[in-house]
Amino acid sequence: MDLRQLRYLVALAEELNFTRAAAAEHIAQPALSQQIRRLEEEVGVGLVERTTRKVALTEAGELLAVRARRILAEIEIAREELDALRGVDVGHVTIGAIHTMGPIDLSLALAMFHEAHPGVALTVREQISEESAELLRADKLDLAFLSVTERVESHELALHQLISEELMVLLPRDHALAGRARVRMAELAQEHFISFRQGARLRELLFSAGRDAQFEPRVTLESNEAQRIRALVSRGLGVAILPRSDAMVPSEDLVAAPIVDPVLRRDITLAWRAGRRQSPATAAFLELALEMFGDGAASAANRP
C-alpha cells in the first residue's frame, strides 16, 4: 500500500461517498475507486461495502482508516519538523473549543500565536466536549479546550485542567428567587430551563444536580450560545445554569446567584492525544496556551 491509497481511504471514511471523496482529493471518481480496489486486493480483505444507496466501511476498513490517519499525521509532523530545521515556520494547528470559554480568551491566544508564527494556519472547531475528545482520538484535532466528563476521561487523552469555575442560576430580575444570596437546587424544581444541547457538559451538570435534588429538570429551550441564553432568560422564558463568568455579566434585566445543595462547578481543560508526537506548530501553541491560561485564568475563575 502507498500513502496515496491511504489518503484516499481516509477521504472516503470522512465522506462515505466516492464522488465527494474524489473531489476532496482533487482526482476523478473512477481513479479513486480504482485505487481503493487495488488497496483491497493488496491487503486481501474488503474495506468498503458498496451498494446503490450508500457507501460504508467494513470493520477492516474502519481499522485501517484509523491507522492511516495516524500514519498520515506522523508524516505531516515529520515534514513540519524538517521545515523547522530549515528555519521555515509553517504548519497547521486544528483546535477544538467548547461554546462557552469563560475567562479563557482563545481569541487573544490565537492572535498572539499568529503574530509570532504568521506562517502557521489555524483552524478552530466549536463543539461539545465529547465530540472534541473523539476527534482528538482520531487525530482530527491537535488540541482541544473541553470540559471533562466520565467518557472524556476514559482513554488516550492527556489532560491539563486550566480552570474550575462556579456555576450559578441566572434569573429574570422580577423572579421570586431574584433577591436570594444563594439558591438551593431543589427550589428550581418547578422551573423551565434554558440549556445547552444534549451532550454538553453544562447540561450534564444540570441534570445531575436535578437528580441529586430529587427532580428531573424540564428543558424547554436550547442554545449553544451563552449570550442568547441570557437574552432568553431576560425575556422571562425560563432560568439557566451558567458559569460565573457568563452569569455575572452586568445587566439591568438579570440577576444571578450561586447554586447550593449541591454546589456546582465546571472545568475547562486543555487536552491532546497522549502518545502522539506533536508538530512544532502544535507544540508551540500548547506551550503558549499553558503559559497564558495555566494560572491566571484559574485565579480569575475562582475570584468571588
Same domain, residue pair 159 and 273: yes
Measure the CA–CA gap between 275 and 257, rounded to whole angstroms: 42
Would you say residue 31 lies in a domain? yes
Would you say residue 186 lies in a domain? yes
Number of domains in the chain: 3
Instruction: Report whether 261 contacts 188 (CB < 8 A).
Output: no
Q: Shortest CA distance to 212 belongs to which of 261, 259, 256, 172?
A: 261
Would you say residue 83 lies in a domain? no
Measure the CA–CA gap between 55 and 77, rounded to whole angstroms: 31
CB atoms near residue 252 (< 10 Å): 6
Question: Final residue of a domain: which of 24, 54, 78?
Answer: 78
Mean pLDDT of all residues in the chain?
A: 89
- CATH code for position 286: 3.40.190.10
Same domain, residue pair 285 and 143: yes
- CATH code for position 63: 1.10.10.10
- Nearest-10 Cα torsion for 157, 163, 166, 168: -80
| pLDDT(198) > 90 | no
Residue linked to cell 479513486: 32
pLDDT number for residue 152: 74
Summarize the confidence of residues 36-55 as an average pLDDT. Answer: 86
Q: What are phi and psi of 158, to 5 degrees?
A: -90, 135
Q: Chain centroid to CA 220: how far?
A: 24
Angle (nearest 5°) at CA 293 between 290 and 295: 95
Measure the CA–CA gap between 288 and 109, rounded to whole angstroms: 7
pLDDT number for residue 294: 82
Parent domain of 54: 3-78
Measure the CA–CA gap between 24 and 129, rounded to whole angstroms: 27
Question: Final residue of a domain: which of 78, 103, 128?
Answer: 78
pLDDT number for residue 87: 57
Q: Shortest CA distance to 267 belongs to which of 292, 225, 298?
A: 298
pLDDT number for residue 85: 67
Classified as helix, coil or strand, 54 is coil
pLDDT tens-digit profile of 127-141?
A: 999 899 999 998 899
Same domain, residue pair 144 and 273: yes
What is the reported pTM?
0.72
